Amino acid sequence: MFELITSNLSSRARRGRLATTHGVIDTPAFIPVGTQGSVKAVSPRELRELKAQIILGNTYHLFVRPGINVIKHFGGLHRFMNWDGPILTDSGGYQVFSLAKLRRITEEGVHFQNHVDGTPAFISPEIAMEIQAALGSDIVMVLDECAPYPCEHEYAARSAEMTTRWAKRSKAANAQCSTLNAQRSTEKTELSAIGYPPSAIKRQLLFGIVQGATFDDLRKQSAQKIVEIGFDGYAIGGVSVGEPEEEMMGAVEASEPFLPNDKPRYAMGLGTPPQMLEMIARGIDMFDCVLPTRLARNGTAFTSTGTLNLKNAQFALDKGPIEQDCACPACREFTRGYIRHLIKAEEILGLRLITLHNLQFYLDLMKQARAEIEAGTFDEFRKNLISNYKTREVDLA
């Protein structure tokens, strides 16, 4: 279900295609984050217009609210939110570790109280698979423990070993859920157009997750053990958890050589535009990140030369679009000066317009990366973009 189309000679960048029940994803791919079953402030129709091919749903948030039974009642997450493209869901583990209170990790799973009303709950690898089967996600993630940064070698080693045991249990449980998946109605997909009969991918794809914190030996071991179990794709987890960028790149470099070439690789929770290009150059195919939607809400727009904070006075009389040649609705129809006014006046339209622009920017960046990989010019493109890109720390706050 993953087809590697081109690899770059000058870097490890790859151009591929991943087929899922609800459609095909061109890689490298950016996955807009729809935490609560909604990409914040954007409708599924707009996501289709932006040509997003896949979105992410957060299992933990949907499990806490509205609850899985409600989503089941509506026939799964696709129907509940009216998005007919591919959906990737995480296992819920990351949010249990970062948001929930009073969590207690045992070999069996994680006990916690949810952050909304404190109701006690429990997630195990098996339950994480059942929840994601009920959501009807196209790509599901195993339950893992994301070790914090910084953490001791001994803790990271024990944690990565448990993640391996949880990965095995997740795989077994997902296979059990597959009967349920096979009963899902056949959806019209474009799969046959690229040579896949629509019936070929009726099951959920299951991705394993490599852990090991910032330790090269643990990353290698974890990658080898997770690959041995065998998954449809491999994620590198425990990155972008507050570590310096060098450590983040190091974690990917230490894991990637042990991942099979013919399966997609996914860096979870990343990143800024330069970070994504650096990761692509290190052989990563998929990214999800809240930055384009989160930063839009404080007036920050992404451009090919860096971030702009549209609240700044310098944009008050600016008649240009956020970015020249951007095809998004904000740039086609509105000036920087008007959008600045909306943000200053706390009008909802302002954050919506910047969100649309930022998503378009991230999706276009991946589209261009794919074209550059195909043309054999990705390395040049990456270096140029990064040398012209100014990150203004204040915009990222």
Question: Which of 232, 288, 364, 395 is labelled catalytic?
Answer: 288
Question: Could you tell me which stretch among 51-59, 110-118, 351-359, 374-382 binds Zn ion (CB under 5 A)?
Answer: 351-359
- Cβ(113)–Cβ(119) below 8 Å: yes
Residue 49 C-beta: closest distance to Zn ion, Å: 12
Site for Zn ion (CB under 5 A): how many residues? 5
301 binds Zn ion (CB under 5 A): no
- Cβ(4)–Cβ(14) below 8 Å: yes
Residue 174 C-beta: closest distance to Zn ion, Å: 39
22 binds Zn ion (CB under 5 A): no
Comparing CA positions, the residue from 305, 308, 313, 352 lying closest to residue 330 is 352
Q: What is the phi/psi pair of residue 301, to 5°?
A: -110, 145
Could you tell me the two tokens for 270? Answer: 């990343």
Question: Which of 90, 138, 285, 395 is labelled catalytic?
Answer: 90
The contact pattern for Zn ion, residues 302-341, with x = CB under 5 A and - = no contact, is ------------------------x-x-xx----------
- The residues, ordered by sequence, that sit 6+ positions from 200 with a Cβ below 8 Å of its Cβ are 1, 19, 191
Annotated active-site residue 288? The verdict is: yes
Annotated active-site residue 90? The verdict is: yes
Residue 354 C-beta: closest distance to Zn ion, Å: 9
Cα–Cα distance for residue pair 213/73, rounded to 1 Å: 39
Measured from the CB atom, the residue of 177 and 331 that comes closer to Zn ion is 331
Residue 369 C-beta: closest distance to Zn ion, Å: 18
Measured from the CB atom, the residue of 77 and 351 that comes closer to Zn ion is 351
Measured from the CB atom, the residue of 259 and 328 that comes closer to Zn ion is 328
Interface pick for Zn ion out of 61, 219, 357, 382 (rule CB under 5 A): 357
Residue 291 C-beta: closest distance to Zn ion, Å: 16
Which chain residues interact with Zn ion by CB under 5 A? Answer: 326, 328, 330-331, 357
List the catalytic residues: 90, 288
